[in-house]
Amino acid sequence: MTDYLIRALAYNNQVRAFAINGTDLVNKAVSIHGLNPVAAIALGRGLMGTAMLNYMQKDKNVVTTLQIVGEGPMKGLVCIADRFGTLKGYIKNNDYESYGLDGPFGVGACLGKGVLNIIHDLGLKSPYTGMVPLQSGEIGDDLAYYFTTSEQTPSLVALGVKLLPNQQVSLAAGIIIQLLPGADEKIITSIEQQVINMKSATELLKKTNSPEGMIRALMNNTDVVITERVEIGYKCNCSEEKMLQGILSIGKKAVTEMINEQEVIETRCHFCQQNYHFSREKLKKSLKE
């Protein structure tokens, strides 16, 4: 099944909804980063949430970043999405042993206290940035809190990643439901009841077989209109030139020290684990340019 995201309206345009099947997306992220189980669930939730956040924006040039900075052993994560369905991300600390295997288990426990940052970059001088404290660290709850406090939009957010015993991702799914201004209270009650019966996003995807089916089930098949469908996938756009510019951005003094101390300067992309190597001569030439 191809991974894709849909946007829809329901109840005579009183509700908007987003749903996503991200199974292959999360599997690729797990493979690239060699993620432990908790990190796989955390990054999977983050990637799917970021994809839906991006498609909420009107401007099609927007690049959306979801960043969590936590005080727990996982330390946080970064996810980036664009309007072409391209996603990438990484966990700040994937060292499973440092999580404390005898301690509390779960994404929230491993992220700990912290903040959720949402950045929408339109290519202008200053990107829009919203920040809220983590509520549970489970990511779905934190996004729901972000929508309520930063955008004054009551929202339901459900993000799920189901792992097999061999750490393969069997299902990854997400859904966001938002009430538009003036929505009838009866609609709210109906949706809430469906959500109570949902159990989890992955179970709903398994039951309905598609993002469209997920939304129709939660909307009681009432006036659902699919307004957009886009395929999604994990892809990094790093390059030697971008990595070189990243090194040069730390300043001439620091780069000169690196040249004096190392024969070859090595750097690695956080998003795809690709290694890049630069010789002293290459960096000296680049500094002059």
Pairwise CA distance, residues 9 & 241, whole Å: 42
Confidence of residue 30 (pLDDT cuts 50, 70, 90): very high
32-59 per-position pLDDT tens digit: 999 999 999 999 999 999 999 999 998 8
Which of 208, 234, 260 represents a domain boundary (last residue)?
Answer: 234
Q: Which tens digit of pLDDT belongs to each residue from 138-196?
A: 999 999 999 999 988 888 999 999 999 888 899 999 999 998 888 887 887 888 788 88
Same domain? For 86 and 145 the reply is: yes
**Do 80 and 162 belong to one domain?**
yes
CA-angle at 276, arms to 274 and 281, nearest 5°: 175
Is 208's pLDDT higher than 90? Answer: yes
Which percentage of the chain shows pLDDT scores above 70? 98
| 268 vs 181, higher pLDDT | 268
Pair (78, 163) in one structural domain: yes
C-alpha pair distances (Å), 76 with each of 88, 105, 172: 15, 16, 20
Whether residue 221 is found in the same domain as residue 253: no
Residue 60 belongs to domain spanning: 4-234
pLDDT tens per residue, range 82-91: 999 999 999 9
Do 114 and 8 share a structural domain? yes
Do 258 and 217 belong together in one domain?
Answer: no
In b/e form, how buried is each residue of 102-111, taking b as 16+ CB within 10 angstroms?
Answer: eeeeebbbbb
Can you give the pTM of this predicted structure?
A: 0.93
Question: Same domain for 95 and 22?
Answer: yes
CATH number at residue 26: 3.55.30.10
Residue 236 has pLDDT above 90, yes or no: yes
Domain shared by 134 and 178, yes or no: yes
Give the mean pLDDT of the chain.
91
How many distinct structural domains can be found in the chain? 2
